[in-house]
Amino acid sequence: MIDPLFQPITINRLQLKNRIYMPAMHMNMAGNYAVSDQLVDFYAERARGGAGMITVGYATVDELSGNPGNIGAHKDIYIPGLTRLATAIRDNGARSSVQLNHAGRYNHSMLMGGKKPVAPSAIPSRLTRETPRELEAGEIESIIERFAQAAGRVKESGFDAVEILSGTGYLISEFLSPLTNKRDDQYGGDFENRIRFGLEVIGAVRSSVGAEFPLLVRMNGNEFMKGGSSRQELQEYAVRLAEAGVDALCINVGWHEAQVPQIVAEVPRGVFGYLARGIKELVNIPVIASHRINDPDLAREMIADGQCDMVAVGRALIADPFFPEKARSRHEADIVHCVACAQGCFDNLFKMKAVECLCNPRAGYERKRAICKTDQPLNVTVVGGGAAGMSAAISAAERGHRVTLHESSGHLGGQLLLAGAPPGREEFLELAADLERQLELSGTTVLLNSRVDDQFLKESSPDALILATGGMPITPAIPGVELPHVLQAWDVLTGEAMTGRRVVIIGGGAVGIETALLLAEKGTLSGEALKFLLVHGAEKVEDLYGLATSGSKDVTVVEMLGELGTNFGKSTRWGMMQDVERFGVKTRATARVIEIAADCVRIDCEGKVEDIPADSVLLAVGTRSCNPLQELAAACGIRFRVAGDAVKPAMVFDAIHQGFTAGREIG
């Protein structure tokens, strides 16, 4: 059977070997706008991995359009670096393009030496908390010309195509949207005027690069902004872009201010394909679908079913650069899937750090963290089959060591199985399975139900030891904590314990919130049930919303701190807290638990004592390290490394990265 994912496709006159498109993602790896070795190494690896086309960027068109962490395309001095990047992608087998953009009101004055960001109108940004300066007519003409000049540099540098970003709440979409465009000149007002700036940018770029140079546009299929452009207007805009000479459209969703999750794990895989389909049915140029496409079977289905002509696979290629080649060679079981955690890719940008990846410790460090075969293979024992232990075993085996992993339970995965239990977090279960497959491929010997103790160490005398024994949930010293209806949240997440109707969760960190949402969805309509009732008109639409969000349990979360969910990543937390409110979870912040009684939890909330009725009480107050073997290993003179929660309780990201480092550096 012909694989639709690996059929060639042509954009303008440029032929691509497959339909996997790596979209532009801000990597924060440039140095004062200049292409760095880190960027070149990162994209060369993705080209080697088999992507059909790779778009880098975004790249700046002037000094108000981005910041020094962006790739620069606004001056000729950046052409040599761009050329080096284009060459690295081409020489490793992929086609390349550069995305050009102007951030508009989404830029930060602190990143521009105090200069104010600019926009069509002086509408404050919820993202930056700043009010931009309104552009004058002459400035608009100048920006259009700078787009054209930057596109010329892209072509001169040896890239195969150029892409214009006309969405996501940046400058072109700010002109397009009535929410941010309140102008009364030829660039504001009705639809024809609001699309003028975008179409003039396209016209100027086309004149600069010529008729045969591929020109793509990445645009919103839906802004998800109340008072913004409608989906129908965006479809019409797509038609006008095609008429203006655009060669392909890449459809993304949402602005950065939008309150609809777009990239995190709770977003169903491929859910936004309907937006690409709505545009594909109206234009005669290739349409690329994007967001949460992290599996080849889904990508094939979307193309075969006519939703799109290509798929944008972005963060999934950060997680596994060889996703395309594994799919092409029918080794799809070997893919390490992106879990949409956003911890390393998106959250790092808020910290002004370069992009990293929870699933792939080498992402962004392709040269620094390369694994070289050892000249002296060792017998390495890894204790613990959670995220840290599996990661350590895989990298140690890749070094050439003989690795045996011991897991005391009957299954691998550790706390990944807890992380994957709540609704919308199932990708972590996939990661556990992916790491188990990587263990198998690495040749590691895995022993389940195998407990390592002092006798084992004395008898086996391994050359090296990696301790990834994880952590255990904390039991706080609260009167009544020993009562039979008091359970650890971990036991509920793993399905080992059931709860009554009224549940009080002590601890409002990530585990507490995830457990609360798991319980709050009990008794709600599933997606399948919701579709059935909707399609058959069995219930009113407004009633279906209630049935999908109102469960059978009464859940309350009690937290000592003033905020809940503080140990979630920034990209994830806001959506999780939205769900807490949406699913009716009650919260008590700045509250101290005084006592657990047979039928209630007594709390002191800012001096006021309150009894919260409870049939079940769950403990989610944190994790303590479990590392019983370190002193023994030191006493026996065995070289060892410690990784994951055995060092200090942290996030899955830390566990996998620490495990990788321990395995890479042992011996």
Calculate the alpha carbon distances from 268 to 164, 423, 527 in Å: 27, 11, 11
| One domain for residues 287 and 390 | no
Distance CA 270, CA 261 (A): 13
The encoded tokens of residue 302 equal 């979307």
Q: What is the rounded average pLDDT of the residues 383-407?
A: 97
Q: Is residue 38 part of a domain?
A: yes
Our count of domains for the chain comes to 3
Give the C-alpha separation, 643 to 469, whole Å.
8
pLDDT, mean over the chain: 95
Q: Which pLDDT band holds residue 435 (cuts at 50, 70, 90)?
A: very high
The full 3-state SS of 237-281, as one line of letters, equals HHHHHHHCCCCEEEEEECCCCCCCCCCCCCCCCCCCHHHHHHHHC
CA-wise closest residue to 395 among 189, 599, 661, 158: 661
In a domain? residue 87? yes
Give the model's pLDDT for residue 455.
87
Would residue 365 count as lying in a domain? no
pLDDT in tens, 485-499: 999 999 999 999 999
Which alpha helices (DSSP H) does 261-380 contain, by range? 273-280, 296-304, 315-319, 323-328, 347-350
User: What pLDDT is attached to residue 457?
Assistant: 86
Q: Are 465 and 506 in a shared domain?
A: no
pLDDT exceeds cutoff 90 at 570? no
pTM of structure: 0.94
Residue 404 has pLDDT above 80, yes or no: yes
Sign of CA dihedral 448, 450, 452, 457: negative
> 345 - beta bridge partners?
none
Q: Is the per-residue pLDDT at 427 higher than 90? A: yes
Per-residue pLDDT, averaged over 23-35, amounts to 95
Same domain (yes/no): 204, 154: yes
pLDDT of residue 1 exceeding 80, the answer is: no
- Residue 553's CATH number: 3.50.50.60
Q: Which residue has the tokens 């390369």?
A: 370
What range defines the domain where residue 173 resides? 4-350
CATH number at residue 45: 3.20.20.70
Tell me which amino acid residue 74 is: H
The whole-angstrom separation of Cα 405 and Cα 403 is: 7
From CA 459, how far away is CA 110, in angstroms rounded? 61
**Same domain flag for 99 and 213:** yes
- pLDDT at site 488: 97
Domain co-membership, 448 together with 554: no
Residue 369 belongs to some domain of the structure: no
610 shares a domain with 632: no
Asked whether residue 129 falls in the same domain as residue 187, the answer is yes
Q: Are residues 570 and 628 in the same domain?
A: no
Give the residue among 575, 574, 266, 293 at the shortest CA–CA distance from 424. 266
